[in-house]
Each structure stands twice: as structure tokens, then as C-alpha cells.
Amino acid sequence: MKRNDGLLTKKFDKLLIANRGEIAMRILRAAHELGIDTVAVYSDADRYAPHVRYAKEAYYIGPSPARESYLVIEKILDVAQKAGAQAIHPGYGFLAERAEFAQACVDHDIVFVGPPAEAIRTMGDKQMARQTVTAAGVPVVPGTPAGTDEELIAAGSEMGFPLLVKATAGGGGKGMRPVYEAAALPDAIAAARREAAAAFGDGTVYLEKMIVEGRHIEIQLMADSHGNAIYLGERECSLQRRHQKLIEEAPSFAVDEDLRRRMGEVAVAAAKAVNYVNAGTIEFLMDKDKKFYFLEMNTRLQVEHPVTELVTGVDIVQEMLRVARGRKLRIRQEDVKMQGWAIECRINAEDPYNNYLPSTGLVTTSRAPTGPGVRVDTGVFRGYEVTPYYDSMISKLICYGETRAEAILRMRRALAEYRVMGVKTNIPFHQHMMDSHRFLSGRFDTKFVEREFSMSDREATDELEAAILATLVAHRQGQQASQIVSPGTRDASNWKYLGRWERLRR
């Protein structure tokens, strides 16, 4: 059925996943559990990727650069029609928040597993989003309308510093510049315009008051096409670098039941203001006095959705597919209970000792951790080539415990077990963070990683560990990586000794 707001919902039994990597695998598995046939798409770089092998059908869509493959709407729709797919799930990134893609799906009688195009369009424009949610009674960070350089410079002097120059389009920190004094504002505006124009094709910017010592808290939403909308608690996303999230957890150390309810109700009001349907996230900035302000809405599935799934028991991806089929939400607000604690570390192919530069190459070893409370979402395997064409994230490591302390202990163990060789990863960064007193006590904000966190005091021990590991791998090549032996015997595995080293250096 097609509603007046342009949303198409109908039963479908064949789904195309317009994405790659770990999120494609996540959606494929959810669809298989629901008995839905799946179609994958792939570029040259992904010809042998796991999602291509896992799907029932797979179609080539072009060269490795995303602008020639995963970002070409016509190619995705052409494959859907050839394969007979009645629905498309965009995952996140690529075309997930392109209103024109959502509308093109509907125009071709294909279900877009996401919100209506108009909701994406409204919430994708930060100025329009601010105006819309303000009208619905949602608190927003004080800011200015978009304007000329002269108007923004005058408004900035009146607002006071520090403040942010922000692009009205896009996200991910692009087109954003912090400004701490009036003299730096003209250059910041010019730089933000250039970056926004290059990234989004729109150099429009505005000013927003900077929340000092703020936390980034987001609320997960689900809404159906029958007027029902609920929130699934909050996620703590303050540990960031250059506005890119690194570690997320649910619930937040800084949010109590009353604050959770108030933030959730405001988030639902914001979603209803744009007739939102399917999964989405309202992001808030919260100051040190626990006053919260609307930041933006992500009109898609979030990278960090697994932590919410673990503490609520709700399979968000399956719920998205059911809602897209026109069904009502299976749970009511009073049914949502947050139990336990979950933490997610984004494992990126990058060098934490060299300004986090991306690391490309062939993955020669990939051994993911297992055990109680450990989940790994990945699309990487031994022999996989990490290319410069896509995001550097190679997996998500998620650990669950009955308490935050138990979740952290499991994360420490899982990080120690994780083995990726052939490319550099940020696993040492996460290990260092799990030992940080500030992290353990929950005393951090969005600037903590960039302002106060350093890898320098860990570098010597990590270099020694890497040397030991490389020696052991070379020595054990072609043999079983680990042996089960009694401690103290002559045949004790070198991997066992490495485990002892891990414990000693902590």
C-alpha cells in the first residue's frame, strides 16, 4: 500500500541489500531468519566479500570507487528489477540517507526499508530539522540561521564564544569547525564552506553554540505505519575523535530513569513531527547540568545498534523489515526494559600511533574472540584485502554483561584475544581505553579523546608485544595456533606465554 506521505509498505519475499561489509552481513542474516530471499550487490573490490557469498544471488555493479558503484541509484534499481527484489534495505552510509533514493524506490514500486523520503529530506537539512523540532517543543542548541559570511560574523560576536560553524547538509563532522575567538571566525567559515561544498555539494553553513564538557547521548526510535512510535533507551556515544564515534555503550553512565524517560518522550515527539516510520535515532548534546538539546536525527540504522539490541532484546533489523511489510510494532513502550550493559568498540584498519592513518593491505590473520557475552559483527576474513575505497571499519566488537564492570572485563578479554595481522588496527587504542581511569569512572565528554587521551604511554609495551607475536606466528606457521597444555610443562604453547605477558603488562 502507498500512503499519502509517499511511504510504500507491502509484503515482500525478496530483499536487495544496497550495501557491503559487516552491515550487509547483519541484514542478510536477519532476512534469512525471516525466510526472505536475499540479493547482494558488489564492486570490483568486493568480488570475494562474505556478503556476496552469503546472499542467495549477487550482482556486479561496477568499479571499486563508491561513486561508480554503491552510490549509483540507477544501478541499484536496475539490479532490483532484474532480480525481482520487491524491497531494498540501504544499511547505513552510501544511499541510506538520500531522499532521492528513497523516493526512487517508491516510484519503481519497490519498498524502501526506511522512513519516507520527506522525513529524510526534512531531517537531513539541519536548519529545517531545527525549525521542525522546535515547533514540536524539542529543545535545540542556541544557534543562527544560515547566512552570508558578514551576517554570520556579526551573529557570532553577539552569541559569544566558543561556538561551532556547521554545514546545513551532511554529517560525520564534515563542514564543521570549532571557533574559540572572534579573530578565527572568518577563516573557519570559509574552511567549513569549502569542505561542505566538496562533501555534499552545498556550502551553506550556520553557527551553533558549543556545549562545553558535553556528552553525546542518542535515543533509538522505532515507528510503524500505523501511528505507533517508541524509544528503546539511550546510547552513550561521547568517546569520539574528529566527530567520529569510537566506543558506544548502553545504557549511559550519566542517564537515570527520569532523564531517560524525558529524553525518550522528546525524541518520539521529534519523530512524530515528520511522520517518521521505521528505525531512526535522535542525537542529543547534554551539558554538565544534564540539560539536553537536539543535535540531529539519523534517518537510518545506526552503526552502534547492537548495544541497544543486547540490553533490550529487540532485533532492530528484523523489526525494520516487519515494519516495511506494513506490520505494527510488536512491542509497546511499557514493554521496553533495559537489562544489563553493552559496550561496542569499532575495530578500524588504522594506525593509532601515526595519527590514526588508514591502513590498507591483505589481512593475513583474522581470529575473532568468542565466549560468553561476546559478539563480533564483521565482513572481514583471512585473505581479505582492505582497500582505500571504503570506510576503515573492519568489524564491531560488542560485549555484554549484567553490569558495566562485567561488560568492561569481557571487553578486555575479547580485545586480548582478537588477532588481526597484515594491517594495523586500533585494537591497542581500545585496550588502553578499557584501562583508563576516566573511562572506568564514566568521567568523560566528547572532547576527552582529542584533548586528554594519549597513546604515548602504551607505545613501548605494544611494540614489544607486536614483536613477540610476529616471532610466534613465524615460528608456528602451518601449525595449530594454540595448544591446550598444563602450565609449567615443556610443551607449553608460546601463545600461553603471550597470555601471561598480557596479564603482567596490565
Supply the residues annotated as catalytic. 300
Q: What's the CA gap between 53 and 46, in Å, rounded?
A: 10
- The answer to whether 186 and 234 are in contact (CB under 8 A) is no
Select from 55, 57, 63, 70 the least CA-distant residue to 101. 70
Residue 3 vs residues 8, 165, 186, 326, 403: alpha-carbon distances, Å: 7, 38, 46, 11, 44
Q: Read off the amino acid at residue 116.
A: P
Select from 87, 134, 82 the least CA-distant residue to 278. 87
Provide the grid cell at 200: 555534499
- The answer to whether 312 and 232 are in contact (CB under 8 A) is yes
- The answer to whether 224 and 277 are in contact (CB under 8 A) is yes
Q: What's the CA gap between 120 and 114, in Å, rounded?
A: 9
What one-character-per-residue DSSP string does 372-399 give?
A: TTEEEEE---TTPEE-TTS-SEEEEEEE
Q: What's the CA gap between 441 and 186, in Å, rounded?
A: 39
Q: What's the CA gap between 463 and 467, in Å, rounded?
A: 6
